[in-house]
């Protein structure tokens, strides 16, 4: 079996790095989308009950901070759990390699065969990979983990916090900056335009057709704002 050339290894590394960047970018777009929809629903609902700028600003800021902190905390816990699982799997694999190396070599050979290599080539490849770095080989082939690229919970938490905050700022500014009679129309138009953009972006990053994703995104945001505005109007009329 021939070893990959420097160019092939470089292309593979670039492909992995590009995939990682696209995943982060897609997560950022979805986090911003959550910030837009949740904050828009909140401030439009409050606008249905009152046109007081201070009340709208207070509600919007509270929703922005609560949502961004919740997103960050949830992402931190989720990614920390994933990282702990990855570390545990690597530790178990390291122990198995130390205690029964021949069985692990046979397992790696079988996994390579299942990927389409012949028995002879799979055995030769497994031996070469084991000689170079047995743990890395098993981590990537058997576990699907890159030991040098374990998930970072702090990066994930900050990314979620910033993405949500960026999205939430748009409806917050749209509801407090215009004069009273224009607040809801400006907010609705701004939010729907932003949802078109985030729906299109998330679909393109996922290599999907954008039309259906945009319609779903806009319909969901419009429904959220419509429901909260109706509830706010009813509560305001009732003097609650």
pLDDT tens for each residue of the chain, 240 residues long = 344 444 433 444 434 444 455 566 667 778 888 999 999 999 999 998 888 999 999 999 999 999 999 999 988 998 899 888 888 888 888 898 888 888 888 888 888 888 888 888 888 888 888 888 888 888 787 777 777 777 788 888 888 899 999 999 999 999 999 998 899 999 999 999 999 998 888 778 777 788 888 898 899 889 999 999 899 888 877 765
Residue 15: CB atoms within 10 A of its CB come to 10
Residues near 28 by Cβ (< 8 Å), separated by ≥ 6? 159, 162, 163
With beta carbons less than 8 A apart as the criterion, state whether 41 and 231 touch.
Answer: no
Instruction: Name the residue with tokens 């029964």.
Output: 100
Looking at residue 178, the DSSP 8-state letter turns out to be: S
Residues near 55 by Cβ (< 8 Å), separated by ≥ 6? 46
Confidence (pTM): 0.74
With beta carbons less than 8 A apart as the criterion, state whether 36 and 221 touch.
Answer: yes
């Amino acid at each position: 079996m021939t070893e990959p050339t420097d160019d092939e290894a470089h292309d593979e590394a670039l492909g992995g790095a590009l995939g990682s960047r696209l995943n982060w970018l897609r997560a950022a777009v979805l986090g911003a989308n959550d910030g837009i929809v949740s904050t828009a629903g909140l401030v439009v609902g409050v606008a249905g009950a009152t046109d007081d700028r201070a009340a709208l600003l207070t509600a919007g800021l509270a929703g922005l901070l609560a949502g961004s902190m919740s997103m960050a905390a949830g992402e931190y816990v989720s990614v920390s759990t994933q990282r702990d699982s990855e570390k545990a799997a690597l530790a178990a694999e390291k122990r198995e390699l130390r205690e029964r190396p021949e069985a692990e070599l046979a397992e790696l050979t079988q996994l390579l065969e299942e990927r389409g290599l012949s028995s002879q080539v799979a055995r030769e490849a497994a031996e070469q990979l084991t000689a170079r770095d047995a743990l890395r080989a098993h981590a990537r082939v058997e576990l699907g983990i890159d030991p040098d690229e374990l998930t970072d919970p702090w990066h994930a938490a900050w990314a979620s916090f910033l993405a949500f905050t960026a999205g939430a700022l748009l409806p917050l500014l749209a509801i407090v900056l215009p004069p009273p009679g224009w607040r809801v129309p400006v907010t609705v138009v701004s939010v729907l335009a932003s949802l078109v953009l985030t729906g299109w972006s998330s679909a393109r990053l996922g290599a999907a057709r954008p039309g259906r994703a945009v319609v779903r995104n806009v319909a969901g945001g419009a429904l959220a704002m419509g429901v909260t505005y109706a509830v706010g109007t009813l509560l305001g009329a009732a003097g609650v």
